Homo-oligomer: A and B are copies of this chain.
Amino acid sequence: MIKVSIVGVTGYTGLELLRILKRHPYVNLEVISSKSHAGKSLSYHFPFSFEEKMIEDLERSIELAQESDVVFLAVPTGVSYEIANKLSKPKIIDLGADFRFNDPKVYEQWYGKKLENYEKFDRVYGLTEIYREQIRNARIVANPGCYPTSVILALAPLLKEKLLLDQTITVDSKSGVSGAGRKDSAEYSFCELNEGMKPYSVVNHRHVPEMEQELSKLFGEKVQLVFTPQLAPMTRGILSTIYVKTKASLLDVYHLYKKFYEKEKFVHVLEPNVFPSTKWTVGSNHVFISMTKDERTDTLVLISVLDNLVKGASGQAVQNMNVMFSLEEDLGLVENPIFP
């Protein structure tokens, strides 16, 4: 059995980790903690969690978690880094941004915080389908952001094959509200989001440098994104619509993608012109990728959907854990989506 702890269990990604780990056959949950809810059991605050374990405060949990095999960090950006500095023994899967960047200066520029001695950490970017081999032996896995997961998976085969006419890629993403986490703010209240769609951080979202880092690596040259994220009136789900110039035919791209992902359990390539709904993924770790092409303008339209809290966060984190401990990659993750 793997001894697992969750630091930051009461946020949405923390609760989702718990939901997934509770059904994992080889996991012993050791320590759970939270800054805001310490001192009572999780089920006291969230009766539907059916988890009677006491919530520790952060400090204490870090101490206790030294004995764990792996610790999931589901805490605000910046806090993970401090905790990782103290957690010398267990493996770490961080759901935040602190370990996602190759260059800590890029992090500093976008997140406003210096990461001291960043180079000392042995870290891997945790997009499982791309970095599986490196994840196997990593001590720290930087779980990708939700938007980046949806975008990089949708572009990886094309970029690796260098089938790009133009290194500027336009990405228009729509996210469910849970992507923002639990918020005590009228801005995220039911009344102000229900029955409305709105863009935010257009061309200026923190996930842009993360995506550009990874896409450029895949392409072998600098790639630039024009990225618009938008809040949709739904709880879960990301739909990314990606516009890219290519001379490759739609059918060739389709076959390339089928082949690229043929052994993957969670990435599903749909036939050209078959379009998915984010509903196809709710509660599951699956991703659907679909495509069409505007022949007149050499524009390939790639579409990907996933559940931002599962493949976009906690599901992929558990997928990475499975890889790190040489388990079947889909343990705890075989679940079909909830539909309808």
Contacts and interface: CB of A to CB of B under 8 A. Distances in A.
A79 B268 CA distance: 36
Interface stretch (A97-105, A128-136, A148-156, A273-281): A273-281
A213 interface: no
Nearest to A22: B336
Contacts of A328: none
Interface string A128-147: 00000000000000000000
Contact of A199 (B183, B190, B236, B239): B239
A190 B188 CA distance: 6
B279 A23 contact: no
A168 B226 contact: no
Contacts of A112: none
A59 interface: no
Interface stretch (A42-50, A63-71, A85-93, A251-259): A42-50
What range describes how many residues of A lie at the interface?
35 or more
Nearest to A293: B203
Indicate the member of A48, A186, A243 with the most B CB atoms within 10 Å. Answer: A48
Contacts of A297: 168, 224, 226
A224 B296 contact: yes
B196 A193 contact: no
Interface in A265-318: 268, 270, 273-284, 286, 288, 290, 292-294, 296-297, 299, 301, 303, 305
A340 B191 contact: yes
29 contacts: A12-B191, A12-B340, A47-B288, A48-B276, A48-B286, A49-B336, A168-B299, A172-B172, A177-B189, A177-B191, A177-B194, A183-B189, A184-B184, A184-B185, A185-B189, A190-B235, A191-B340, A192-B340, A194-B194, A195-B237, A195-B279, A195-B282, A198-B239, A199-B275, A202-B301, A224-B296, A224-B297, A283-B338, A338-B338
Interface of A: 12, 15, 18-19, 22-23, 46-50, 168, 170, 172, 174, 176-178, 182-186, 188-200, 202-204, 224, 226, 228, 230, 232-237, 239, 241, 243, 268, 270, 273-284, 286, 288, 290, 292-294, 296-297, 299, 301, 303, 305, 334-340
